[in-house]
Amino acid sequence: MKSVYLRPLFFIVMIILFWQCAPDSSQSLTAEMSAEIAMLPTESGAMGYLNIKSIKNSPFFALVEENLEENPVYSEEYQEFIEATGLDVRTDIDEIYFTFTQNEMEDDPSLFAVINGNYQPERIMAYIMEEQEGSELQEKRFKEYTLYLVDDGEFAICFTDNNRLIAGNEKSIQEWLEKGTLGQKNELSESTKKNIDKLKYNKQCWMLMDAQKFVTEMMDEFNHRQSENFQGLKSLQSLNFSIHFDDNMKFHALGQFEDAEKAGLFRDAMKGFVATAKLSMSEDRDAIDVLNKIKIDTKKDEVVMQFKMSQEDIKKLKEKRKAWAIK
């Protein structure tokens, strides 16, 4: 059951990591979002937010959806899941707050997520219990809530009501529930406020990372040549990126390095990467036009990357795909 929740969220996050955007004025955080973020685990190495409902209501996303040849989510098995549980993730999930915590004793980071939407917990758990019959899925009461545990609590879920699902390990869920039931006023830490203030966009999609907790492992995954090209990553201290969808898709990323020299080295490596990509597509004018929109610059010890994709870009790529299909 663990993979049912981990894989879709991880997939979404990793896709977003490769999208990029254009400058607009920074946005202020709502009081509701501040309260939600203050409830998240404090020792996390990465923190993020997805407002799926807002993204899906944007003209840009609607155009992308129209140009999909088939629904990538749909299958007969998924339709059976909808009928059994009353849950359709395409329409019933509104927003997700999440963190990743890198534990030195574990290979993979630990996920914690607050998923707000519309649920029928009894139907969902009845389906899961039936599908997991004979497995080590356990029920455990904590205060007035029921936790469903896998692998002795290494992963668990809890419906706090019909509009909120909590997923993570048993300890992190219990700590979240404690914060919510003690009646205490939870406020953002100064460091979290400072990092969120650096985001260009915070209404729809963003992520903050303490890069040092993840870079070493990521560098180990590179081959020798890739590792040489991205040595500057070792001096990356923090990273944030944010995306906003309206008529366009706009992305902004900011990485803070040890010093201006290392930031410059990484900027040059990224520009070289983009130049190589353009060279490999030299005969595809539309693709090069899109790549030309990627702007990479430095401000002291920071590297800033920005990108904007328009609806016209999507239409051009669609026409290009049709031309390739004819050939």
DSSP string computed for 278-297: HHHTTT-HHHHHHHTT-EEE
Q: How far apart are CA 169 and CA 147, in angstroms?
A: 10
Task: Work out the widest C-alpha separation in the chain, in whole angstroms.
Answer: 65
pLDDT digits (tens, 9 = 90+) for 47-63: 999 999 999 999 988 88
| Threshold 0.85, pTM exceeds | no
| pLDDT score at 64 | 76
Judge whether 282 and 243 are in contact, CB under 8 Å.
no
Q: What angle do CA 244, 236, 112 make, to 5 degrees?
A: 60
Domain boundary among 131, 148, 181: 181
Domain termination residue (choose one: 122, 151, 181)? 181
How far apart are alpha carbons 288 and 120 in whole angstroms?
47
CA atoms of 297 and 268, how far apart (whole Å)? 9
The two tokens of residue 287 are: 């693709």
Of 181, 213, 233, the residue that ends a domain is 181
Both 162 and 132 in one domain: the answer is: yes
The domain tally of the chain equals: 2
Q: What angle do CA 164, 165, 169 make, to 5 degrees?
A: 145
What is the b/e burial string over 208-244, where b = at least 16 CB atoms within 10 angstroms of the residue's CB?
Answer: bbbbebbbeeeeeeeeeeeeeebebbbbbbbbbbbbb
- Burial classification of residue 170, based on how many CB atoms lie within 10 Å of its CB (0-12 exposed, 13-18 middle, 19 or more buried): buried
pLDDT for residue 216: 67
What residues have CB less than 8 Å from 326, skipping those under 6 apart?
A: none
Q: What is the SS3 assignment for 275?
A: helix
What domain range includes position 221?
201-326
Pairing of strands 145-150, 138-142: antiparallel
Per-residue pLDDT at 277: 87
* Residue 147: CB atoms within 10 Å: 19
- Residues 283, 251 share a domain: yes
* Same domain membership, residue 155 and residue 290: no
Same domain, 156 and 205: no
Distance from chain centroid for Cα 290? 23
Structure confidence at residue 298 (pLDDT): 94
| Residue labelled with tokens 């040092």 | 212
CB 41 within 8 A of CB 112: yes
Q: Is 188 a domain residue?
A: no
Structural domain contains residue 286: yes
Let me know whether 121 and 91 are in one domain. yes
Q: Is residue 186 part of a domain?
A: no
Is 191 a domain residue?
no
Name the phi and psi angles at 298, rounded to 5: -125, 150
| Residue stretches of the chain with pLDDT short of 70 | 1-27, 67-74, 103-108, 134-135, 181-184, 213, 216-232, 320-327
- Same domain? For 37 and 147 the reply is yes
Assess whether 65 and 169 both reside in one domain.
Answer: yes
